[in-house]
Amino acid sequence: MNALDFNRRTFLVGAGATAGLTLGFSISDEALAQGATPEVNAWVVIRPDDTIVVRIGRQEMGQGTVTGLAQLVAEELEADWAKVTYEYPTPGQNVARKRVWGDFATSGSRGIRNSEKAMREGAAAARMMLLQAAADEWKVPVAEVSVAKGVITHKGSNRSTTYGKVAGAAAKLTPPTNPPLKDPKTWTIAGKPLKRLAQDGKVNGKQVYSIDFQAPGLLNAAVKDCPIWGGSLKSFDAAAAEKMPGVKKVLKIENAVVVVADTWWRAKTALDAVKIEYDSGKSANLDSKAIDDMLNEGLGATEAFIGNQSGDVQAAIKGAARMVEATYSMPYQNHAPMEPMNSTARWTADKCEVWTSTQNGEAALATTSQAAGLPLDKCEVYRMDLGGGFGRRATSQDYVRQSVLIAKEMPGQQIKLIWSREEDQLRGCYHPITKCKMTGSLDKDGNLTGLHMRISGQSILATIRPEALDKGRDPATFQGLNAGGAEGAIGYTIPNILVDHAMRNPPVRPGFWRGVNNNQNAIYLECFMDELAKEAGIDALEFRRKLMKNHPKHLAVLNAVAEKGGWGKPAEKGVFRGLAQHMGYGSYVAACAEVSVNDAGTLKVHRIVAATDCGHAVNPAQIERQIEGSFAYGLGAAMFQEITIKGGKVVEENFDSYPILRMDDMPAVESIIAPTGGFWGGVGEPTIFVAAPAVLNAIFAATGKRVRNMPIKNTDLRKA
Amino acid sequence: MAKLNINGKTLDVNAEPDTPLLWAIREQLGLTGTKYGCGVAQCGACTVYVDGEPVRSCSLPISAINATQKIITIEGASGKIVEAVQKAWLEHDVPQCGYCQSGQILAAASLIKAKPSPTDEDINREMSNICRCGTYNRIRTAIKQAAAAVRGA
């Protein structure tokens, strides 16, 4: 499809109320002649009824990004917010138009911060074109026309019109270059705590997630991939399954056995009747103990990749008045979004189409093309709503690949692949496993003179994106521990510091799990800061403050939670507090947690005060929801989630053995949103970093027990 | 061929007797508001009403239900309490991804029916549905508001 052709078509896939939109049918030329709406530019379509359709490359998955981006566009456009809706361009359209919508990847808390400039400029350009079109029609200078809420006015002649009426003429104008943007201080739509777009379907059951995709003649597939990491499919006997009701075909797809049937339940039932044998390969003896041994070796290894080095840490430790040592660990964790992985595909020799929920439509399209054996321009991915992502649907498009390979076995047939919850647990992209040996040196006055963090364990990039390694080193391992930079700098000035990484990669697949490496790095560093403060006999807040003079933004959020959280003041009887701060994805975050531990050793997290400085706050109400949501996600992991390995296979196959935080464990959350301007930080992930260390520090205050190995449930918290 | 009474209509269901109600609802009847989350009655995304009681439909075979029992899904749920819950959900902008919310809403309406003035302890005990986005605090607030609206109506 060339650009001109594209301009004449309305979008096929969107999140608005338009029916039939997810089926990918082409709109006929007759339909177009009857009033399809041209775009003002790639970002903005304005219908004759003044509805503003914002086109968004990033993906909504519950985090509110789409609403925030639409607010930014509406702001620059001077639109009436009540008339704003949105739609998703497809990855194929993005390819055809030379990536006019930019990067679709929605991960790394970059949905807004890496799109705001292009989208605000697109909206500002559209506004200028719309005003110009009105001025041209009235034959008056554009400087004399103004706009408010999508209504254009020429005061001199007392005339007015609306965006919808001039959009067609505006679309024919040459777009301005470098349109000026508003000062965020003057925002009236962006920066406001508006409600989310498209919420109705989420309370009446009408929102269609990709698992809900329906079409006439659709078949369903169930899959069991080899559950042994490093193993392979040896053989299978499908004789019984093939005779079961509704079964169309039993297939081998790489190391997976697949049953295609008329319904998914029949496919799954038949799949359970297939006798499958696996070859464990080198993983027969791979278990959590063997992995722990591997990581322990790395803790003392002589060679390691350096992440942050200054001064001479070994000399500082040798000359220390007092030395503190501690080893921490973080297990594998699964994303477990509520909607299991799924993807629908149809393959023919000259076209492959996919309907799926993904955090990265462009990666899904590339995966489709590769699996289909067809060029990108013969493939298309229709983006559907996600029942959660958390990094799983960004790390790997493995489910998309499987669905295309299945469809290829039955040309022309549309087939929906759904993973069972068990498959989702067994074939995850897990939060990587690491341990960390912390060594700190104090002088006689309790000042921190040296810090060595030896991280041992898994690199995500080594498996998932090896091309991003830097001479074998995984820079992402050091998230939040870097000496500087806008993305994730350590908040302390320590005279002698060494942060290094002994990379040890078990064959269990790692992935980007909400917060990624910041999660364990914040636990390691912030809990150890408390250990050092205790050894120095100095209050944990004061101990940190002494090291944070050169890090005012880190310090400001820490001070904010300390003040609001009541640090230094008496807590309710039996309630104890803990602090933590960290920086990641461009944002500065801190938390003050309040916990109690009863005589039975049961932990209760009562309240967390959280602060974030994300530079610009596009929608404070949605940021609050991200803070709370990140705490639910992070605390559940810290308190009771771990993926363990036996015989190369994940042990925890469902929510009965992999518990998820529920209502009764959710603390009260008080958010301090303190944007200081001048930069754009993310909000989907950052606050998750500080939930666990603040709680762990509070547990120590409550019990005198230092929990160093996650999850917390593995430590007896009863007072000794 | 089984017969099920769903959302006020008696419908033929062409599925084996051990088919979970969830999959009959989703695949035989095409009602996709009821979600698959875990298949083992842990998460509550598949919650529907059978004769007014919330059940986890992923673990209830259709053979255990007869045609006289009234099944209500999110698409057919109505009445003062459910509508008050849906309204409160929108006012507090509760859903994030939204996937679990059909189940959360039906569970919440059941709670309010049983306990017109639910306490925090009632909510903690009865609202065991899983939400990975972490909307729990908004759910708590919305339940209290919906309950107050029902009481005041």
Residue A243 neighbours by CB distance under 10 Å: 10
Q: Please indicate, yes or no, whether residues A325 and A355 belong to a single structural domain of this protein.
A: no
Q: Please indicate, yes or no, whether residues A412 and A388 belong to a single structural domain of this protein.
A: yes
Query: First vs last Cα of chain B: how many Å apart?
Result: 43
CB-CB under 8 Å, A200 with B39: no
Confidence of residue A720 (pLDDT cuts 50, 70, 90): low
CB-CB under 8 Å, B19 with A663: no
Q: Please indicate, yes or no, whether residues A297 and A356 belong to a single structural domain of this protein.
A: no
Fold of B80-152: DNA polymerase; domain 1 (1.10.150)
Confidence of residue A260 (pLDDT cuts 50, 70, 90): very high
Shortest distance, CA A212 to any CA of chain B (angstroms): 6
Shortest distance, CA A694 to any CA of chain B (angstroms): 18
Shortest distance, CA B51 to any CA of chain A (angstroms): 20
CB-CB under 8 Å, A266 with B16: yes
- Rounded to 10°, the helix A620-640/B136-152 angle is 120
CB-CB under 8 Å, A418 with B140: no
- Which B residues, 14 through 33, put their C-beta within 8 Å of a C-beta on chain A? 15-16, 19-20, 23, 26-28, 30-33
Helices (H), A373-445: 392-395, 398-409, 421-426
Task: Return the pLDDT at B15.
Answer: 95
Structure tokens at A356: 């799926």
Q: Please indicate, yes or no, whether residues A151 and A232 belong to a single structural domain of this protein.
A: no
What CA–CA distance (Å, rounded) separates A196 from A275? 48
Q: Which of A362, A383, A418 is the last residue of a domain?
A: A418
Q: Please indicate, yes or no, whether residues A449 and A545 belong to a single structural domain of this protein.
A: yes
Q: Which of B71, B97, B143, B144 to mutate to test the interface with A (most CBs of A within 10 A)?
A: B97
- The full DSSP string for B11-48 is EEE-S-TTSBHHHIIIIIS---SS--S-SSSSS-TTEE
A628-641: pLDDT as tens digits: 999 999 999 999 99
Q: Please indicate, yes or no, whether residues A441 and A518 belong to a single structural domain of this protein.
A: yes
- Which B residues, 37 through 76, put their C-beta within 8 Å of a C-beta on chain A? 37-40, 42-43, 45, 73-75
Q: Which residue of A has its CA nearest to B37?
A: A338
Q: Please indicate, yes or no, whether residues A86 and A180 belong to a single structural domain of this protein.
A: yes
Contacting residues of B for A660, CB less than 8 Å apart: 43, 130, 132
Name the domain count of chain A.
Answer: 3
Q: Which of B23, B95, B127 sits opposite A202 (nearest CB)?
A: B95
Structure tokens at A232: 């392979």
Q: Which of B95, B105, B125 sits opposite A199 (nearest CB)?
A: B95
Residue A68 lies in a domain: yes
Q: Where are the domains of chain B?
A: 2-72, 80-152
Q: Which residue of B has its CA nearest to A664?
A: B124
Domain B2-72 class, CATH top level: alpha beta
What CA–CA distance (Å, rounded) separates A113 from A69? 9
- H, E, C per residue of A485-496: CCCCECCCCCCE
Q: Which of B75, B129, B136 to mutate to test the interface with A (most CBs of A within 10 A)?
A: B136
Q: Please indicate, yes or no, whether residues A525 and A453 belong to a single structural domain of this protein.
A: yes
A280-326: pLDDT as tens digits: 999 999 999 999 999 999 999 999 999 999 999 999 999 999 999 99
Q: Please indicate, yes or no, whether residues A116 and A259 belong to a single structural domain of this protein.
A: no
CB-CB under 8 Å, A654 with B93: no
B5-32: pLDDT as tens digits: 999 999 999 999 999 999 999 999 999 9
CB-CB under 8 Å, A214 with B32: yes
A106-148: pLDDT as tens digits: 999 999 999 999 999 999 999 999 999 999 999 999 999 999 9
Residue A720 lies in a domain: no
Residue A719 lies in a domain: no
Q: Please indicate, yes or no, whether residues A260 and A181 belong to a single structural domain of this protein.
A: no
A321-368: pLDDT as tens digits: 999 999 999 999 999 999 999 999 999 999 999 999 999 999 999 999
Contacting residues of A for B105, CB less than 8 Å apart: 203
Domain span at residue A477? 288-333+430-714
A207 lies within 8 A of chain B by CB: yes
Task: Report the candidate in A641, A596, A631, A595 with the shortest Cα–Cα distance to residue A610.
Answer: A631
Confidence of residue A36 (pLDDT cuts 50, 70, 90): low
The complex's ipTM? 0.98
Q: Please indicate, yes or no, whether residues A258 and A176 belong to a single structural domain of this protein.
A: no
CATH number, domain with residue A493: 3.30.365.10
- Rounded to 10°, the helix A163-171/A116-138 angle is 100
A691-719: pLDDT as tens digits: 999 999 999 999 999 999 999 999 999 97
A68 lies within 8 A of chain B by CB: no
Task: Return the pLDDT at B1.
Answer: 77
Q: Please indicate, yes or no, whether residues A320 and A398 belong to a single structural domain of this protein.
A: no
Percent of chain A scored above 70 by pLDDT? 95
What CA–CA distance (Å, rounded) separates A644 from A658? 10
Task: Return the pLDDT at A619.
Answer: 98
Is the distance from CB of A199 to CB of A397 less than 8 angstroms?
A: no
Residue A467 lies in a domain: yes
Residue A49 CA: distances (Å) to CA of A33, A163, A165: 17, 9, 8
pTM value is 0.95
pLDDT average, residue stretch A47-74: 97
Q: Which of B20, B98, B132 sits opposite A202 (nearest CB)?
A: B98
A289 lies within 8 A of chain B by CB: no
CB-CB under 8 Å, A625 with B138: yes
- E-strand ranges in A118-200 read 145-148, 151-154, 159-162
Residue A67 lies in a domain: yes
